[in-house]
């Protein structure tokens, strides 16, 4: 059954991770990050910093390639935090399904809230770091500019507040 599920997922070509930003979307499939922005062709960034626009590889200086590697890594960091949150939700649902007593339920709730907050803090910091790299790419790689507004300009603190308010 697991093999069938994996085959179905692979057949659908489902992305490993997708982030919809203010002005576009970043999708991570395997080791290729694709940037989607209206009125611009798709761009891809490989794990080694390769950068293509509309399927055409662009020449890069070592510093530019390094920034693209950091950008790619930033997206994978956010994906890891999001995956951790999803796994935590599943684990919490399973734990509550066992119908713990009131004291155990409160401890479990406190643990879940604490871990979710820790993951949110890490993800928000990753997003702020990624925005910094995105801004550097905008300045140093002219071909990146159409894709340079996907991640929002907000501080990690604002991100945490936004997420805390969503969970109230």
Instruction: Write out pLDDT tens, residues 57-112.
Output: 999 999 999 999 999 999 988 888 777 766 667 777 777 676 778 887 788 778 77
pLDDT at 10: 40
Domain count, the chain: 1
For 16, residues 6+ apart whose C-beta sits below 8 A from its C-beta are 28, 29, 30, 79
Q: Using an 8 Å Cβ cutoff, are 44 and 34 in contact?
A: yes
Domain that holds residue 76: 2-166
Q: Does the model's pTM come out above 0.85?
A: no
Higher pLDDT, 70 or 21: 70
Is 9's pLDDT higher than 50? no
pLDDT of residue 8: 36
- Residue 134 to residue 81: CA distance in whole angstroms: 19
The arithmetic mean of pLDDT across residues 13-20, rounded, is 70
pLDDT of 161 > 50? The answer is yes
Per-residue pLDDT at 166? 58
Looking at per-residue pLDDT, the higher value among 135 and 94 belongs to 135
Question: What is residue 28's three-state secondary structure?
Answer: strand
Neighbours of 97 (CB within 10 A): 8
Give the pLDDT band (50/70/90) at residue 155.
Answer: low
pLDDT band at 7; cut points 50, 70, 90:
very low
| φ, ψ dihedrals at 14, nearest 5° | -70, 140
């Amino acid at each position: 059954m697991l093999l069938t599920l994996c085959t179905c997922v692979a057949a659908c070509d489902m992305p490993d991770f997708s982030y919809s930003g203010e002005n576009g979307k970043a999708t991570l499939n395997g080791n290729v990050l694709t940037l989607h922005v209206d009125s611009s062709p798709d761009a891809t960034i490989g794990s080694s910093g390769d950068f293509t626009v509309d399927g055409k590889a662009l020449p890069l200086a070592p510093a530019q390639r390094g920034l693209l590697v950091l950008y790619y890594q930033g997206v994978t960091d956010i994906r890891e935090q999001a995956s951790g949150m999803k796994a935590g939700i599943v684990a919490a649902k399973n734990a509550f399904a066992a119908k713990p007593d009131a004291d155990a339920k409160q401890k479990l709730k406190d643990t879940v809230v604490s871990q979710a907050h820790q993951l949110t803090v890490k993800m928000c910091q990753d997003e702020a770091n990624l925005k910094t790299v995105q801004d550097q790419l905008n300045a140093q790689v002219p071909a990146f500019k159409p894709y340079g507004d996907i991640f929002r300009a907000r501080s990690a603190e604002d991100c945490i507040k936004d997420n805390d308010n969503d969970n109230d």
